[in-house]
Structure 1
């Protein structure tokens, strides 16, 4: 957008070196030190065996069998425990700031060695959104009008906040089926209340739901609670955020260019309505840019919906579903949404570590990433080669609240029209089943 009549769009290695040395490494060092200060483990020592406060007894199978052929077990009593250690803090800082996800420990940021305190929880959530949000302002500076960056950031933030106010009440309201069993789900000074299944007691409902929204708004995938245990409506929001293309903040850089593609579509729609050639930041939006934008918008839904249908048609795809009915469908849809949009979080009720899902989800990740990068670079090259069109009386202002609303509507309409039918078969129908008397 900032270049005129240019024959290139820069040097990849220069950009990567600068972003790594000047942004990612310094921020990772600072965050790692802060996490160590909060008690996140950081050591190259081997695992430590410690004495527990109480002795623990458990049954363990022996190699022998009894006369009936049944395995024989024996009771073992121990008062020691092996603690898993390692350079966790440095890895967590890198993966949170780089919106990668995954966890040093199996339960990710629900583990007390990875996320021990409310402050560490806040810092890790902040790291997820920090660079993607800051890049909106950077974009405004680079194109010479910071208002453009603020408009994009406002659109992202409004959707983000609105969906938080869907997820938190859905989880805080709890599960009616547990009420019938006499389970107290009321929020009090002694308990968080609501649907606490799959959540850490030290984080409660709000911090868990906030993390779930943040990690799927960005292409992060780290979790501090298990999304599979959310209420149907509460679990649908993280799923839908991924299905929107992870443009609500999104990954480091990828969320911004995804939202800019939607901005190009928005100005194209507005240009059709007012009968003028669409323009964005002084560059005419023509047929080539719209074709490339269409590829960016359509490839992930194609991978997600076709992949979900493909999995459910085959015995190999159904064999890993451990929950029947609508929730099992949601697990498969979530897995493909996560892979097709480069997230990494999961509904744990689906065992994806089998040859079928390892191969096909891996292929979806590879295909979706490259077929977004290529058309986005094509758009960049086309715009860089164009002349800048002077602002005229018919130019649509793209820094106003009105344009931010138009951008939000464009993103939501694409997401709604594409995925609501599939969501109706999964979390929506499951929510209705949960609420029925």
Structure 2
């Protein structure tokens, strides 16, 4: 079997698996967030934190819950890293420095999981399990909760109530993330991933050198890092490490975990608003962009110029021989379009044009299909923009799902889409102007600029992957990237929840002959076009200086 045919079968199997679970899993998540019953474990959690799960919240109260919970998470994780050397199971590791501890705390709480450290040589067992792994669960649940609150804004009328943040948070963890993660972790262990709390082993290699082999609760963290679109690897090599990703089957499983919640949430959206066709329209837009990205990166990697690439059958530098071009490209596109950051190859080694596609996937706002929750609410914001554009063309007040998109709604949507580009471009510009970016480059010219642009794009979009050559572990980058992660995560949530509250207060508008049918393929095409044009106009100059210049010069 040739590599191209194997790649086609791999993508076909992945799409088939996602299609198989889309309906039952999407329906299950809709039932979870619409249920009025509380499990016994959930009731115990509510009592322990003093929350009333049946109290409805307006958007300011919902936002306060999100921000308070996340602030406590940042503080706890920061302190845990600073004192890890005094705690049990420290493995002899020192306390994390203040700037790196802040960066890591901001990273994991914001669902970014950017890492400026090597996990196997820096983080203790307690920090990995009680700190990083816990945030993998709760940060993912926060994203889904905010998305569900926005969906309720469309579904409800003449009330500003969006549900209860604490109930949505706990249900996401208890009923969705933990059960699937347990099953996935057991499968990974059965396939060869490690899971233990042992001490570091020193072994002698074939060349006679000494090498330290780090143990850890890897399989359990691997499962939630992918399922929750977190991405932080237990090891520096992330999912290219055989302890995290032992073989081709686990590689496919991890890609499936990256995509399963984001690609199923449109079904949840359709069920909660009472029109599953609306969910299919959003899903189709996500799938088109994702598939085009997979095709583009795979083709450019196989066609990479140069004698070495021709002899190897593709650009294999920086890629695992166990996986090759196709699975590496599929993983790379899936991780950059889902705010994950988990990698099975070094994106710094991809060709200029391939790196540009990966950058563009993040610059789109990671909505194809995006992170857990964040992908759906990002796509719904873009749907509002697309409806507004269509309304301008026909000269009528735009409507979406029976709600008028007026001045307040479009201002909130516009603020949402401006935040991340501002963080990316200003952050990159400051790093280059102050010389901080150039001093951290391991390459020169267009590729070196791409390293800096990728870092600030990844942080601001809460992705977490990196061009591996970029030296991020400096006081400046740890601080600036940490701020970009926090602002890129929580400022958009402010506008999403404010928009949800505004929509929930409206009376439903009956559909007429002039109402745009947003469940039709025409609207899907309009939505995809609006996403690409808005992003292209915003980021094209920066892309032209980096990956496009590199790719065209090759």
* TM score, norm. by length of structure 2: 0.71
Corresponding residue number in structure 2 for 1:68: none
User: How big is each residue's C-alpha offset from its partner over 1:158-209, in whole Å with a ceiling of 9 and x where there is no partner?
Assistant: 1110111110011111233xx2xxx3625xxxx6x21001000000000001
Q: CA deviation at 1:51?
A: 6.3
In the alignment, is residue 14 of structure 1 matched against residue 178 of structure 2? Answer: no
Match of residue 327 from structure 1: 447
Aligned to 2:365, which of 223, 245, 250?
Answer: 245
Structure 1 counterpart of 2:496: 376
- Pick the aligned partner of 1:269 from 389, 396, 406: 389
Q: Distance in 1 between matches of 2:426 and 2:435?
A: 16
> Which residue of 1 is the match for residue 281 of structure 2?
151
Residue 322 of structure 2: aligned partner: 202
Distance 1:196 1:206 in 2: 11
Q: Please say if 1:31 is aligned against 2:152.
A: no
The structure that has the greater radius of gyration is: 1
Measure the CA separation in 2 of the matches of 1:239 and 1:140. Answer: 30
Tell me if 1:142 matches 2:272: yes
Q: 1:51 to 1:302 in 2, by over 3 A?
A: closer
Deviations 1:132-171 (A, max 9, x none): 1110100000000000001000000011101111100111
Deviation (angstroms), 1:7: 2.6
CA distance in 1, matches of 2:309, 2:553: 21
* Equivalent residue runs for 1:12-411 within 5 Å: 12-49=165-202, 54=206, 56-57=207-208, 81-176=211-306, 179=307, 183=308, 185-186=310-311, 193-411=313-531
Secondary structure, in 3 states, of the residue corresponding to 2:417? helix
Gap change, CA 1:196 and 1:184, over 3 Å in 2: closer
Contact 2:309-2:315 within 8 A present in 1 as well: no
SS in 1 for 2:489: helix
Q: Can you give the 5+ residue segments of structure 1 that lack an aligned partner in the other structure?
A: 59-77
- What does the per-residue CA deviation read over 1:270-294, in whole Å, with 9 as the maximum and x for residues that have no partner? 1111111100000001000100100
Deviation at 1:49, TM superposition (A): 4.6
**Whole-Å separation in 2 of the counterparts to 1:3 and 1:432:** 50
Structure 2 unaligned spans of 5+ = 1-153
The whole-number CA distance in structure 2 between the counterparts of 1:107 and 1:427 is 24
Corresponding residue for 1:63?
Answer: none
* Runs of 4+ in structure 1 over 4 Å off: 49-52
Give me the whole-angstrom Cα distance separating, in 2, the residues matched to 1:281 and 1:236.
35
What is the distance in 2 between the residues matched to 1:316 and 1:15? 41
CA distance in 2, matches of 1:41, 1:349: 28
Indicate the SS of the match to 1:185.
helix
What's the Cα RMSD here?
Answer: 1.3
- Relative to total residues, which structure has the larger helix share, 1 or 2? 2
- In structure 2, distance between residues paired with 1:175 and 1:83: 37
Q: Is contact 2:160–2:502 with CA below 8 Å preserved after alignment?
A: no
8 Å contact 1:36–1:42 — kept in the other structure? yes
Partner of 1:61 in structure 2? Answer: none
Map Cα deviations across residues 34-93 of structure 1 (whole Å, 9 max, x no partner): 1111100011222345566x4x245xxxxxxxxxxxxxxxxxxx6xx5432211000011
Within 1, Cα distance between the matches of 2:310 and 2:158? 63
